[in-house]
């Protein structure tokens, strides 16, 4: 499937900011067997005084931008053409859940895809008794890792209400879970906490999801949003599997990945500083539009 994706985000500050500096994680990369990026361009306006793109620890392309003169607003535009390969049929090659710890321990590896990075609680992906209890109740003796991931993800989807606007980008996962509602970011963080709690390495994926208009209605350009889902390590042979708890499905041909991390903090599209204080997005996002179009 070939996609043309565009994104535009506008930010503004309450007052002009000296030496604004932001880290942007918006540029997708090729992923072997999964996606090929044919073209990508990220435009920042006003033109930053400095900009450098580099791969971060998890190999996400990170753009460091800074302005030496005061600015009060800026905008980001991404134009992307990417091909998403259809996923192979998913045979369950994962080990029984109880065998996973020894497979993790046997991985003598600290590369970005090593499971070790994703076992412990992280700031936005905490391991908490309420998550672990919820996950444990969905396990059956002898379950494989893949079965466990699907059972926990499915149960979460059934339990949680999708509610746009009920939470914001800084809402802790446990608060969204207590209220049993949230958006894709909350669903993903909760599922990550659940999986880690039962010993399954789990991480956060940011990207785009193709949306389908209601039957008989035309597709609305720009009405999409950025999306997030979960990946879990299903043993040495099967490796990473991706699952979308918001939509209760494996992340397949409808998904285009921007970045991988332990949680949202590792892949936040914009991270910035105002006067030494971190704001989730270096200011206030005033407008955001995303369009995911299939190239015929």
- The vertex-117 CA angle with 115 and 120, nearest 5°, equals 105
* Closest distance of CB 148 from other proteins, Å: 21
Adjacency order of strands within the sheet including 270-274: 50-55, 61-66, 21-27, 270-274, 277-279
Question: Do residues 3 and 294 touch, judged by C-beta distance below 8 A?
Answer: yes
* Closest distance of CB 49 from other proteins, Å: 8
Q: How far apart are the first and last CA of the chain?
A: 9
Dihedral-angle region of residue 275 (phi above 0 means left; psi in -120 to 50 means alpha; beta otherwise): left
Restricting to residues 179-208, name those near other proteins by CB under 8 A.
none
Residue with tokens 């369009």: 291
Interface residue with other proteins, options 8, 40, 81, 116 (CB under 8 A): 116
Nearer to other proteins, 70 or 213 (CB): 70
Q: Which stretch binds other proteins (CB under 8 A): 53-61, 75-83, 155-163, 217-225?
A: 53-61
* Closest distance of CB 169 from other proteins, Å: 13
Is residue 64 a contact residue for other proteins (CB under 8 A)? yes
* Closest distance of CB 155 from other proteins, Å: 26
Interface residue with other proteins, options 25, 84, 117, 231 (CB under 8 A): 117
Is residue 47 a contact residue for other proteins (CB under 8 A)? no
- As given in the structure block, the two tokens for residue 17 are 């900011």
Residue 285: Cβ-neighbour burial (10 angstroms; 0-12, 13-18, 19+): middle
Question: Do residues 97 and 144 touch, judged by C-beta distance below 8 A?
Answer: yes
Is residue 40 a contact residue for other proteins (CB under 8 A)? no
Interface residue with other proteins, options 8, 19, 181, 219 (CB under 8 A): 19
Nearer to other proteins, 39 or 102 (CB): 102
Is residue 276 a contact residue for other proteins (CB under 8 A)? yes
Q: Phi and psi of 208, rounded to 5°?
A: -125, 150
* Closest distance of CB 273 from other proteins, Å: 4
Q: Phi and psi of 95, rounded to 5°?
A: -75, 165
**Residue 190: helix, strand or coil by DSSP?**
helix
Is residue 107 a contact residue for other proteins (CB under 8 A)? yes
Nearer to other proteins, 157 or 196 (CB): 196
Closest to 114 measured CA to CA, from 271, 2, 240: 240
Is residue 105 a contact residue for other proteins (CB under 8 A)? yes
Where along the sequence are the contacts to other proteins (CB under 8 A)? 18-19, 21, 23, 49-50, 52, 54, 56-58, 64, 66, 68, 104-105, 107-110, 114, 116-117, 119-120, 265, 271-273, 276-278
């Amino acid at each position: 499937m070939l996609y043309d994706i565009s994104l535009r985000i506008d930010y503004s500050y309450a007052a002009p900011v000296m030496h604004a500096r932001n880290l942007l994680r918006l540029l997708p990369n090729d992923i072997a067997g999964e996606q090929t990026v044919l073209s990508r361009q990220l435009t920042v306006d006003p033109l930053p005084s400095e900009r450098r793109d580099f791969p971060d620890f998890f190999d996400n392309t990170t753009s460091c931008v800074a302005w030496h003169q005061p600015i009060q607003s800026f905008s980001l535009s991404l134009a992307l053409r990417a091909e998403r390969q259809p996923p192979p049929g998913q045979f369950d090659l994962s080990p029984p859940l109880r065998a996973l710890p020894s497979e993790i321990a046997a991985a003598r590896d600290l590369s970005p895809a090593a499971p070790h990075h994703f076992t412990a609680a992280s700031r936005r992906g905490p391991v908490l008794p309420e998550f672990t209890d919820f996950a444990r109740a969905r396990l059956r003796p002898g379950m494989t890792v893949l079965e466990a991931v699907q059972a926990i993800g499915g149960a979460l989807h059934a339990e949680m209400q999708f509610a746009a606007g009920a939470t914001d980008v800084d809402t802790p996962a446990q608060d969204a879970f207590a209220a049993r509602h949230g958006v894709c970011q909350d669903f993903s963080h909760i599922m990550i906490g659940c999986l880690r709690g039962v010993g399954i390495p789990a991480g956060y994926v940011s990207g785009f999801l193709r949306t389908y208009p209601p039957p008989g209605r035309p597709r609305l350009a720009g009405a999409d949003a950025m999306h997030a889902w979960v990946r879990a390590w299903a043993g040495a042979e099967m490796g990473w599997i991706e699952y979308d708890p918001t939509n209760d499905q494996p992340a397949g041909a409808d998904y285009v990945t921007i970045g991988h991390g332990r949680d949202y903090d590792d892949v936040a599209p914009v991270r910035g500083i105002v006067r030494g204080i971190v704001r989730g997005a270096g200011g206030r996002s005033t407008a955001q539009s995303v369009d995911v179009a299939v190239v015929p």
